[in-house]
Amino acid sequence: MAETLKPCPFCGKTPVERRVVELYPADADGPAGEFDAHHTIACDDCGIDMSGEYRDDVAAAWNRRTRPALKRVERQPIQFDGDANG
């Protein structure tokens, strides 16, 4: 059974799935009919995506992603040398 996709970890929108098949013409490296296929799961709102050969692997990786932790930065007061009025 196909794994249900979680929403985008960045914006919460529903991701889209695409199966891409690229066909190659005959050339010195091989005959016509050679192809490459992969699955992509993407958020069209954020522009992020994940791709791989097998849909189940890509879906599992998508669902493991989390929003990146924000680094807390402590603000320091600015100190001026001399008179603040210039």
Residue 30 domain-assigned?
yes
Residue 3 domain-assigned?
no
Residue 6 domain-assigned?
no
Which residues form the domain of 59? 16-64
> Which is more confidently placed, 75 or 12?
12
pLDDT tens readout for residues 6-65? 999 889 999 999 998 888 777 777 777 777 889 999 999 989 999 999 999 999 999 998
Residue 36 domain-assigned?
yes
What pLDDT does residue 10 have?
86
| pTM (predicted TM-score) | 0.62
Q: If we measure between CA atoms, which residue out of 60, 22, 17 comes closest to residue 39?
A: 17
d(CA 24, CA 31): 8
Structural domains counted in the chain: 1
What pLDDT does residue 14 have?
95
Using the predicted structure, report yes or no on whether residue 1 has a pLDDT greater than 60: no
